[in-house]
């Protein structure tokens, strides 16, 4: 798989992810989450160092519910910018933050050398499925956060997209209109949440095309190494792992090694099908582990 490490830069010095993706070559990227312990931090940096030789287009660091990992997220993202060759993407959500606080966080990212952010509304403070309420003096929609990031520091801004629709969208067509609104606010690319069927991504792309979305939509890939873990993560998004995927993997539930091998195979097949359909990029949810992602690369014959 080709990747792009172009020299486009913003006026403030960082490479803009939207330009790197838009240059025409397929991207691939990795997502990490802030660790909760010294052991977790060691595992995170081991994964980062293992994946760095593959020269991803960018890497992202998630932002905990309610901003619970805000400082750690900014610190790790800044360290990636300073100490690695990789382009970092910092996450930011509207949850429990005023506009003043959000502007301050964006300033922290800029000071750390981070020029790209992923603007998310975020899950309701009460958890997925509960009523969404904006914080006092805060924002209600991801599109508003996109606008803030663009005006507060001329960041390159990415957003989320949902192959099966956001759990709060009344219809899939309404969900496509929301994505269009994010584009109109200044978003330069989108990343999907995890999905497991090619047809779900293709349907999203068709809906997006129909309403005028032109920004690249990267496919979010979750390697299945634990059926219980991935099922729980899907549940939090208001979705289920497709029955055919569960059936294929569950037959090995008493053999962790075989289950993991089949899970990697499922993800690799999906990635290859997406590549064959011209996906602009693959974004891997690594869970701070490099091995599963590297094995998928081997299936796709990707070299450093």
CA distances from 226 to 167, 194, 234 (A): 24, 15, 12
Instruction: Quote the tokens at residue 125.
Output: 């403070």
Give the closest residue to 280 by CA, choosing from 179, 189, 184: 189
Task: Specify whether the CB–CB gap between 194 and 234 falls below 8 A.
Answer: yes
Catalytic residue, candidates 11, 25, 31, 244: 31
Distance (Å, whole) CA 177 – CA 293 = 32
Burial class (CB in 10 A: 0-12, 13-18, 19+), 125: middle
**How many CB atoms are located within 10 Å of the residue 186 CB?**
20
Give the closest residue to 292 by CA, choosing from 271, 270, 267, 269: 267
170 phi, psi to nearest 5 deg? -70, -30
Report DSSP letters for 233-302, one per residue: HHHHTT----HHHHHHHHTTTT-HHHHHHHHHHHHHHHHHHHHHTT-SEEEEE-TT-SHHHHHHHHHHT-
Burial class (CB in 10 A: 0-12, 13-18, 19+), 237: middle
39 is catalytic: no
Q: E-strand spans in the chain?
A: 27-32, 58-61, 88-93, 116-120, 156-161, 189-194, 217-221, 281-285
Residues designated catalytic: 31
């Amino acid at each position: 798989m080709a990747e792009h490490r172009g020299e486009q830069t913003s006026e403030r010095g960082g490479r803009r992810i939207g330009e790197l993706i838009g240059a025409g070559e397929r991207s691939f990227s990795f997502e990490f989450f802030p660790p909760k312990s010294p052991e977790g931090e060691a595992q995170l940096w081991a994964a980062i160092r293992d994946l760095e030789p593959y020269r991803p287009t960018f890497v992202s660091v998630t932002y905990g519910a309610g901003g619970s990992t805000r400082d750690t997220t900014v610190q790790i993202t800044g360290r990636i910018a300073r100490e690695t060759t990789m382009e970092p993407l910092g996450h930011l959500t509207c949850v429990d933050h005023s506009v003043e606080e959000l502007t301050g966080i964006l300033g922290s990212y800029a000071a750390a050398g981070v020029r790209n952010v992923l603007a998310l509304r975020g899950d309701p403070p009460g958890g997925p499925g509960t009523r969404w309420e904006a914080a006092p003096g805060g924002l209600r929609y991801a599109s508003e956060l996109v606008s803030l990031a663009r005006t507060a520091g001329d960041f390159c801004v990415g957003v989320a997209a949902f192959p099966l629709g956001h759990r709060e969208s009344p219809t899939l067509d309404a969900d496509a209109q929301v994505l269009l609104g994010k584009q109109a606010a200044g978003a330069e690319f989108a990343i999907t949440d995890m999905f497991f069927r090619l047809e779900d991504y293709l349907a999203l792309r068709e809906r997006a095309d129909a309403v005028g979305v032109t920004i690249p939509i990267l496919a979010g890939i979750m390697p299945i190494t634990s059926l219980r873990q991935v099922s729980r993560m899907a549940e939090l998004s208001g979705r289920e792992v497709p029955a055919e995927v569960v059936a294929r993997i569950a037959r090995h539930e008493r053999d962790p090694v075989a289950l993991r091998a089949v899970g990697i195979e499922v993800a690799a097949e999906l990635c290859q099908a997406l590549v064959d359909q011209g996906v602009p990029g693959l974004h891997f949810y690594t869970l701070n582990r490099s091995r599963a992602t590297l094995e998928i690369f081997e299936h796709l014959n990707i070299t450093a």
